[in-house]
Every structure is written in structure tokens, then in C-alpha cells.
Chain A
Amino acid sequence: MEKIDLNKVESSLLMSIADIPGITPGAFSLRKNGKPVYVNTTPNINILPKKDKPGIDIYVRADTKDEDVHIPVVITESGVSDTVYNDFYIGKNADVVINAGCGIHNDGCTDTHHNGIHRFFLEEGAHVVYIEKHYGEGEGTGKRILDPVTEVTLGKGATMEMQTTQIKGVTSTIRTSEAVLGDDSSLVISEKIMTHDDQLAETHFTVNLDGKGSSCQVTSRSVATENSRQKFVSKVFGNNECFGHVECDAIIKDNGKVSSCPEVTSNCIDAMLIHEAAIGKIAGEQITKLMTLGLTAEEAEAEIINGFLK
């Protein structure tokens, strides 16, 4: 496909979800308003369209190092409902950064809906940093809905760092993430969510620590303001000698509501699983401390939230 021009709204969305103003060199797939519009490959990273359903297969050669893959999605037409299936096959000992994300601009009165169904298959020793940002904007009454599904299969000694961020403008999201870890593999998930208005955000993590020496660290930091609601459900199964740590920290403000539902199951005597959850409003002493540095109460609160979600 030829190189394409992006309008201001599309460029702005790209900046919000991927910190890039447009197409960048390297492996790249851009999906716009439910259709693939641009693909670029490299000698080590191939991107092929699926034949049976919408989506792409991304193949990263073994031993590929220091390469990025960008697969952003932008939706600027109101009423688009798009489900896309992307599969990532990461070769042995490859080490790449994958930037995904979806930005919705909805000025209309009909709902816009995007589901990114992502499956990752990491071969032995592979390392992936997966960065996914979700963002919504627009003056319309139509909802901006994102329901991503992420499935991760880690081979022996593979490691994956998954950083997901939803800061603003997404009316409703139900995120489902499932992972199966092989021997000596490691999964680190860092989730940051901020909801406002009447938004809903649910996260469901299921991690199966099948491999000996496998480990997972799931960290969720969220802020629920105004009338928004959040639910964090984490299920970690220790099926071998393994280590799992799930941590949910949430700040609630106004009428925000957060529910944290931990479930850790040890199916092996050598599994060590920890869950921590803390939900509460901003501590008054934190605001007081920052006010003694000259910030107003409002500035102090914003600083505390920015730091929390940084």
C-alpha cells in the first residue's frame, strides 16, 4: 500500500496513542475506520493480512533485535464497529517493542466500537515490550467503546512486558487478558486507567503459571472520578514452582467506585502467590504536604494523580 496522508484529527489521535505524528519508518500497520490503510515491513518483521477475518499476522524473525512494530488504530467516523484479529509470532531470542493502541474521535450520535483481539506467541528466549494506549475524544453523544482481548503464550525463558494505558475519553471498556507461561518465563503487566463522567472500565486478568520457574507481576493503578466505575478482577493460578504478584492500587474521587476482586489459586506446593489491593481517596496529608510547597489544593490533587499514573 502507498504512503498515506493523515489529517489533523488523525495525526492528533496517533500522537495521543503512540507519541508519533504520523507514519514512522520500520514495521508499521495502520488501520483507519475499520480498514487497513497502510502496511510496511522490514527484512526481519513481516506483516500479512489475514485471509479469513479482519486483521494481520505479524512475524518477527528469530534473533531480531532493537526493532519496533507499530500497529495503531484510529477511528474518526461515528458509528464504526470494528473487530480486528492480530496475531504476533515472535521468533526465538527476538527482542522487539510493539506499539499498539486505539484512538477514537466520535463527533456523532452513534456509538463507535473497536475490539482488538491480540494473540502473542513468544518462542524460547524471546522478549517483547508491548505498549498499548487507548484514548477517546469528540463532542458527539455516541459512545467510544473499546473491548480488547489479549492472549499471551510464553515459551521457555520468554519474557513479556505489557504496558496498557487508558487515560481519557473511553466511555466503556472491558479488557480481557489471559496468559499461559512456560518454564522460566516471565510476564509483567502494568495497567493504568483513569475514568471520568459515567465511564465504565473492567479488567479481567487470568494468568496460568504452568512452567517451572515462571513468574508474573500484575500492577494496576487506577483513578475513578465523577460517576465512573471500575472493576479489577485478577485470577492467578500457580500450577508449578512459580511466583505471582498482583497489586491493585486505586484512587477514588467524587462518586467514583472501584471494585477489586483477587483470586489466587495454588495448585502446587511450591507456588508462591501474593495479592495486594488498596483503594481510597487521596490522603489529606499528601495534599497538605504539596500545599506547603505552594500548590493549591486543586494543583496538589492533580500532581498526586499525575504521579500515581505516571
Chain B
Amino acid sequence: MLELKNINFSADGKQILKDINLTIGAGKFIAITGPNGSGKSTLAKIIMGIEKPDSGTITFDGKDITNATIDERANAGISFGFQQPVVFKGITVSDILNLASKKTLSRDDACEHLSMVGLCANDYLDREVNSSLSGGELKRIEIASVIARGTKLTIFDEPEAGIDLWSFKNLIKVFNDMRTRIDGSIVVISHQERILSIADEIVLLSDGHVEKVVPQGESLGAVLGEQASCRKL
């Protein structure tokens, strides 16, 4: 469904991604992990179009999207959950969910999306997505906005970062629910062993290149290696 070929990307004179080749099949749950600075978030942004590669091609559903804009990729069926949720002034949770789903959601539908991330619609729908919300609340709303899109490919950039304990415990459930509800693939950038353990494949990035691709069932220890300190919440 998604194919990256020979992707290179550099910034500030430093090469961040080096000749990345990666294929993500339909209906797969792929975890991308690796040390800090290995290029994980950059790779996620390259897929969404937030960053443009210096060279290489990106194909999605058989179409070359290498030069497609962010919104064109979004409308083609790619969603992106930000590591640091964006805040606004005046835009409410309800607005974000409506924009994400491209329709005015009924309260029941909005409630369904929010309840998946443990938030009560009555408490949150009319609240502004601003800094009066906690980091954990913002993260949950970010995830709900991605869920509301229900696209073929969903990318989460470190969904566990900045999240509260409740949300982390339920993240796994959220991903499992998404796999049931949405006929698509999920790519999660993560350090967390619990998230890696439910992936169909784990892609280990190291110093900007794909070190190895580990299928489900293989020892996580071999993948995590030096990241052992990240294995506990």
C-alpha cells in the first residue's frame, strides 16, 4: 500500500535519512523504533508530506505521491497523529472532530470517538483546543481526531509521549479497536515495548537507515538492544 524507495533527507547540512527503503502492506500494524536521533519522526513526516525528501519516491495505493502536498496526501487516505499536539485559540474539540471527519458529527458520533480515548463528550466537545487543556488531554484529543478520519493509513508519531497514565494503558486498546474498526494500516513511531509487542513488524532505524525489519514473534530484546531502558513505562 505504501512504498518508500531510496528516500534521502538532510537538514542543516546533516543527512537525517539515508537511502530508506520500506514497504507497508495493507492492514498491517507497523512499529518504527530506534534510538533518539535515528530519524523516526522525520520518516513519519516524510510520509505525511510535512517534510520533503531530497531524493527517492513515495508510492501510496499505486500512485506516486512524492510531490503531493500534505492535504493531498490526507485526502488520499493518510492521517497523522502529532507527537506534540497543536493548540489553537477559538477552535473547539467539536470543531476539530468535525473537520477531521469532514462532516458535522452528531453528539453521539463525537461521543464515540472521544470515549475511545477516555474522554466524555459532555465535558470536552465545547472546550477550546488550547493550553488550558493538559498535555494528556491534548494528546487524547489528537488521537481522537485521527481516529475520526478512519483512513487507509494512520501514522502516530510517539503517541505515548507526554501522555498520562490512563491514556498509555489504553493506547493498546485504542490501536486494537482501530484495527477492528478501520480497514487500514497503522504505523506507530514508538519506544515502548508494549506497543512494539502488538506490531506485525518492527522496523528498527539506526543513524538514518533501516537497520532491520523484525517480523512478529521474534525476540524484542534483539530489536531493542541498547534501548533496554525504554522498555518500562
Shortest beta-carbon distance from B151 to chain A in Å: 9
- Once bound together, how far apart are the Cα atoms of A279 and B160, in whole Å? 32
Shortest beta-carbon distance from A178 to chain B in Å: 28
Residues of A within 8 A of B69 (CB): 291, 296-297
User: Which residues in window 4-62 of B have CB below 8 A to A?
Assistant: 48, 50
Across the interface, name the chain A residue whose C-beta is closest to B76. A294
Please determine whether A293 and B145 come into contact, CB atoms closer than 8 angstroms: yes
A292 contact from B79, B95, B102, Cβ within 8 A: B79
A310 at the interface (CB under 8 A from B): yes
Please determine whether B88 and A307 come into contact, CB atoms closer than 8 angstroms: yes
Number of A-B contacts (CB under 8 A): 61
A143 at the interface (CB under 8 A from B): no
Q: A297-B71, A307-B95 are in contact. Are A292 and B88 (CB under 8 A)?
A: no
Please determine whether B99 and A291 come into contact, CB atoms closer than 8 angstroms: no
Across the interface, name the chain A residue whose C-beta is closest to B84. A285
A289 contact from B82, B92, B95, Cβ within 8 A: B82
Residues of B within 8 A of A308 (CB): 88-91
B80 at the interface (CB under 8 A from A): yes
B100 at the interface (CB under 8 A from A): yes
- Once bound together, how far apart are the Cα atoms of A295 and B73, in whole Å? 11
Residues of A within 8 A of B95 (CB): 303, 307
B71 contact from A249, A285, A296, A307, Cβ within 8 A: A296
Residues of A within 8 A of B96 (CB): 293
- Once bound together, how far apart are the Cα atoms of A290 and B50, in whole Å? 12
Across the interface, name the chain B residue whose C-beta is closest to A296. B71
Residues of B within 8 A of A289 (CB): 82, 86
A309 contact from B50, B75, B82, B90, Cβ within 8 A: B90
A221 at the interface (CB under 8 A from B): yes
Shortest beta-carbon distance from A268 to chain B in Å: 29
User: Which residues in window 257-300 of A have CB below 8 A to B?
Assistant: 283, 285-286, 288-297
Residues of B within 8 A of A221 (CB): 89-90
Please determine whether B48 and A292 come into contact, CB atoms closer than 8 angstroms: yes
Shortest beta-carbon distance from A279 to chain B in Å: 13
Across the interface, name the chain B residue whose C-beta is closest to A278. B89
Q: A291-B74, A295-B99 are in contact. Are A285 and B88 (CB under 8 A)?
A: no
Please determine whether B88 and A286 come into contact, CB atoms closer than 8 angstroms: yes
Please determine whether B71 and A304 come into contact, CB atoms closer than 8 angstroms: no
B149 at the interface (CB under 8 A from A): yes
Please determine whether B86 and A294 come into contact, CB atoms closer than 8 angstroms: no
B70 at the interface (CB under 8 A from A): yes
B102 contact from A291, A294, A303, Cβ within 8 A: A294
- Once bound together, how far apart are the Cα atoms of A293 and B96, in whole Å? 9
Please determine whether A293 and B88 come into contact, CB atoms closer than 8 angstroms: no
Please determine whether A292 and B90 come into contact, CB atoms closer than 8 angstroms: no
Please determine whether A288 and B89 come into contact, CB atoms closer than 8 angstroms: no
Q: A288-B50, A303-B99, A307-B95 are in contact. Are A294 and B71 (CB under 8 A)?
A: yes
Across the interface, name the chain A residue whose C-beta is closest to B102. A294
Residues of B within 8 A of A291 (CB): 69-71, 74
Please determine whether A293 and B99 come into contact, CB atoms closer than 8 angstroms: yes
Q: A288-B70, A295-B71, A296-B71 are in contact. Are A307 and B90 (CB under 8 A)?
A: yes
Please determine whether A290 and B90 come into contact, CB atoms closer than 8 angstroms: no
- Once bound together, how far apart are the Cα atoms of A294 and B78, in whole Å? 9
Residues of B within 8 A of A249 (CB): 89
Residues 215-232 of chain A, each 1 if its beta carbon lies under 8 Å from chain B, else 0: 000000100000000000
Shortest beta-carbon distance from B187 to chain A in Å: 14
Residues 188-229 of chain B, each 1 if its beta carbon lies under 8 Å from chain A, else 0: 000000000000000000000000000000000000000000
- Once bound together, how far apart are the Cα atoms of A304 and B82, in whole Å? 18
Residues of B within 8 A of A286 (CB): 86, 88
Shortest beta-carbon distance from A14 to chain B in Å: 26
B88 contact from A288, A294, A304, Cβ within 8 A: A304
- Once bound together, how far apart are the Cα atoms of A221 and B90, in whole Å? 10
Across the interface, name the chain A residue whose C-beta is closest to B71. A291
Please determine whether A310 and B74 come into contact, CB atoms closer than 8 angstroms: no
- Once bound together, how far apart are the Cα atoms of A291 and B149, in whole Å? 13
Please determine whether B70 and A292 come into contact, CB atoms closer than 8 angstroms: yes
Shortest beta-carbon distance from A299 to chain B in Å: 8
A-B contact list, 13 entries, CB within 8 Å: A249-B89, A291-B74, A292-B80, A292-B82, A293-B149, A294-B71, A294-B75, A296-B71, A297-B69, A303-B99, A304-B91, A308-B89, A309-B90
Interchain residue pairs A-B with the least CB separation, the first 5: A307-B91, A307-B90, A291-B70, A289-B86, A294-B74
